[in-house]
Amino acid sequence: MNSLPNDPLRLDDAEVEFSTLRIDRLGALGDGIANFEGTEIGVFGGLPGELVKARIYRYKRRKKNIVSGIVIEVIEPSPNRVEPLCKYFISCSGCQWQNMEYSFQLISKRNYVMEQMNAHANLKEVPVESTIPSSQQYNYRNHARFTVRFGGQLGFSNRITRRFLRVDECHIMDPLINATLAGLQDKCSETSNLSIRVGSRTHERLIQPTLLEPKVPYATGQKWYTEKIKDTSFRVASPSFFQVNTAQAELMIDLVVDNFDLTGKETVVDAYAGVGTFAVEVAKKAKKVIAIEESLSAVNDSSYSLDSLENVEFKLGKTEDVLPTLECEVDAVIIDPPRVGCHPDALNSIINLHPSKIAYVSCDPVTLARDLDILVTGGYQVTKVEPIDMFPQTHHIECVATLRAKD
């Protein structure tokens, strides 16, 4: 039954359990949800309405007993099912939705955002627009993190089985990453993990860590690379965050700037500013931008593109610590926190600053809805939420929420 080395699905185990399941809906991780032994479980590879045969896995994570399934056979397929482009699709588990027609991916992402909004009484009437599609459904990702096993093989670990899978091509990665992967495959035994970041526009590479093996065909251990968004080049060091889909990042920046409708008289705070991708574009249309970032690496990177802009001031520190120290009048705030969302003190400080406009950029609809609820209670109205597909073939979704002060 197993066609890949190392048996990533553990189909060759001495005891293997299977079950025929009806997929009811999609879960938070993008898996199909089915009833098994009186409880709901996630079934990787299952789409709503399908009848499938699944391999059942019982395991423990963080001291919790978990039961999951992986589809082995589709008995009654969904009309939204397509043939996955990647031969590793089921075994890898990195892309949850390669088996789903793209238009249905977009619908499913919007539905999930709406579900999270509807979980809060304050947000039930919030307009959630249709998901903005990605211009590239494949080969869009500019950053790959590979696991290294078995004498230098590069690949990924299955999320459920934790088994390593050698991968010689990843269809969501930038072509330069795949070319680099081909050159490094079987030559990286001196490390257990490898990161490849590329500039989709500049075609520069950052490969970490430094590899000393003479057979490695590329320079490694670079401190930074550059990427271009619109007409600005950004330096990105290894520890610094940068959006993995450059084309969609441009679109997202345009959404934020356009929604603010700036006149050139405003002071704008860019919280969780990273290397300054929002700050650069906002500075072209605002009087002043105050960018806040706690990563010293990102602040140092920002000087590469922001030093020539006299109306941008970068402040190093945590957003929740810096915001209360601002003494100027703030007209608009951009919030782009990590997946965990905003610190409560940051939200309270924004409410106290009382800007007339807020743009909240989020990669997690759950924490987005939680924080929007707090802002609405604090005197704001969410005028719209715009989902953006930054991550095709996966369940992940980016959103831009636009808020206005009620008074």
The enclosing domain of 53 has a CATH number of 2.40.50.140
Task: Examine the domain organization and report whether 115 and 160 are in the same domain.
Answer: no
Domain co-membership, 275 together with 381:
yes
For all residues of the chain together, what is the average pLDDT? 95
**Over residues 302-330, mean pLDDT:** 93
In a domain, 12, yes or no: no
Of 183, 210, 237, which one is at a domain's C-terminal end?
237
**Residue 4 in this model has a pLDDT that exceeds 60:** no
Per the structure, how many domains does the chain have? 3
- Say if residue 7's pLDDT is above 80: no
Checking if the pLDDT of 69 tops 90, the result is: yes
224 & 269 share domain: no
- For residues 372-390, give the mean pLDDT: 98
209-212 contacts, C-beta under 8 A, 24 or more apart: 211/184, 211/187
Q: In terms of domains, do 222 and 263 share one?
A: no
Q: Are 281 and 398 found together in one domain? A: yes
Q: How far apart are CA 251 and CA 139, in angstroms?
A: 17
Phi/psi at 182 (nearest 5 deg)? Answer: -60, -40
Whole-model pTM: value is 0.94
The CA distance from 186 to 165, in Å, is 13
pLDDT at 2 over 50: no
Res 159: pLDDT: 94
The secondary structure of 51-109 as a DSSP string is EEEEEEEEEEETTEEEEEEEEEEEEE--TTB---S-TTHHHH-S-S-TTB-HHHHHHHH
Taking a C-beta distance cutoff of 8 angstroms, is the pair 26, 20 a contact? no
Q: What is the pLDDT of residues 144-193, one digit of tens each?
A: 999 999 999 999 999 999 999 999 999 999 999 999 999 999 999 999 99
141 pLDDT higher than 90: yes
Residue 62 pLDDT greater than 80, yes or no: yes
**What is the amino acid identity at position 306?**
L
Q: What is the pLDDT of residue 262?
A: 96
Query: Based on the number of CB atoms within 10 Å of its own CB, is 185 exposed (0-12), middle (13-18) or buried (19 or more)?
Result: middle
Question: Closest by alpha carbon to 107, among 88, 130, 90?
Answer: 130
Domain identity same for 36 and 147:
no
Pair of tokens at residue 86: 């990647």
Reported as type and span, the H/E element at residue 298 is helix 296-306
| Mean pLDDT within 365-384 | 98
Sequence-separated (6 or more) residues with CB below 8 Å from residue 161: 8, 9, 10, 57
Q: What percent of the chain is helix, strand and coil (3-state, nearest 5)?
A: 25, 30, 45
Two structure tokens written together for 4: 């890949």
Are residues 119 and 256 located together in one domain of the fold? Answer: yes
The verdict on 296 and 254 lying in the same domain is yes
90: in domain? no
Q: What's the pLDDT at 15?
A: 83
Adjacent-strand bridge partners of 153: 149
pLDDT at residue 1, as a whole number: 41
Confirm whether 88 is domain-assigned.
no
Residue 270: strand pairing partners? 291, 334
Domain range holding 213? 143-237
Burial of 121 (0-12, 13-18, 19+ CB in 10 A): exposed
If asked whether residues 201 and 316 sit together in one domain, one would say: no
Clarify whether residues 194 and 279 are in a common domain: no
Across the range 345-364, mean pLDDT stands at 97
